Amino acid sequence: MAGKVVLAIDNSLDHLNLALGKDGTLIEERHGRFAEPTSEIVSLKVRTFLSDHGYWVEDLNALVVTVGPGSFTGIRVALAFCKGLSQGLGIDLVGVPTLDVLAHPFRHLDGYHLLPLIDAKKSEVFAATYRASGERLERLSDYQAVKPAQVVGMLREPCLVFGTGLRLCEDFLREHPGTIRVREEFSRVQGEALLRLGIDAHSTGEHVSVEPIYGRKSEAEIKFNVTIS
């Protein structure tokens, strides 16, 4: 995406995250939690973000969005907004799994395993296991929703464990000295990581699908026995 202006959006967790880049370099990232539903403010937040840097939506050359797992509603809102913008402007849209973005900042820890955890509510976490090798990440498991006790079975030592779901699993991790628990600062999607993964995926043609990864059925699907895509 050399010479192109790229906007990345994440709404799969507790914050709305925006990142803007040009020529593969991050310009700025912003994140926040708002009282209003994201569906009502995302358009305004994006326009303000772009205008603060002298851009209009028409200046965008590509979009990157997280596809989950995470908040069912949050994922759908971000995807709907990005799909509409992509189709309206005629620009590429790249989807990136949320767990991949959370693991990305640790890719340089050669030989370590990574286990990002997302609080999935209902006493479950979304999780996947990765291995860092040569500045790259190899995913070793599916994206899945598991009970905190089941997380132990996903460990591959040495292992860094982090994310919003960590607090739910700590009691089960204390007996495993080969694990390092990382708190707070790596519980949120990093805009620069999302931007970088999106650009890399676009250039290689990998993971460009914008099909949502929900991790499990929604309440509506369970209650009414239907499938929501």
Instruction: Give the list of residues 6+ apart from residue 145 with CB closer than 8 angstroms, or none.
Output: 69, 120, 124, 125, 126, 127, 215, 216
The predicted structure's pLDDT at residue 224: 40
d(CA 71, CA 75): 6
Going from N- to C-terminal start, the domains of the chain cover 5-98+188-224, 99-182
The string of pLDDT tens digits covering residues 70-99 is 999 999 999 999 999 999 999 999 999 999
CATH architecture of 5-98+188-224: 2-Layer Sandwich (3.30)
Three-state SS letters, the chain: CCCCEEEEEECCCCCEEEEEEECCEEEEEEEECCCCCHHHHHHHHHHHHHHCCCCCHHHCCEEEEECCCCCHHHHHHHHHHHHHHHHHHCCEEEEECHHHHHHHHHCCCCCCEEEEEEEEECCEEEECCEEEECCEEEECCCCEEECHHHHHHHCCCCEEEECCCHHHHHHHHCCCCCEEEECCCCCCCCHHHHHHHHHHHHHHCCCCCCCCCCCCCCHHHHHHCCCCC
Is residue 3's pLDDT more than 80? no
What gap in Å lies between CA 14 and CA 38, rounded to an integer? 11
Mean pLDDT, the chain, rounded, equals 91
Q: How confident is the model at residue 207 (pLDDT cuts 50, 70, 90)?
A: low
Do 5-98+188-224 and 99-182 fold alike per CATH? yes
Q: How many angstroms separate the CA atoms of 74 and 81, rounded?
A: 11
Q: How far apart are CA 1 and CA 197, in angstroms?
A: 12
Report residue 208 as tokens.
């460009």
pLDDT at 1 over 70: no
Architecture per CATH, 99-182: 2-Layer Sandwich (3.30)
Q: What is the pLDDT of residue 54?
A: 97
pLDDT at residue 81, rounded to an integer: 98
pLDDT of amino acid 208: 66
Tens-place pLDDT, residues 20-33:
999 989 999 999 99
Q: In which band, very low, low, confident or very high, does the pLDDT at 223 lie, cut at 50, 70 and 90?
A: very low
Express each pLDDT in 135-145 by its tens digit.
Answer: 899 999 999 99
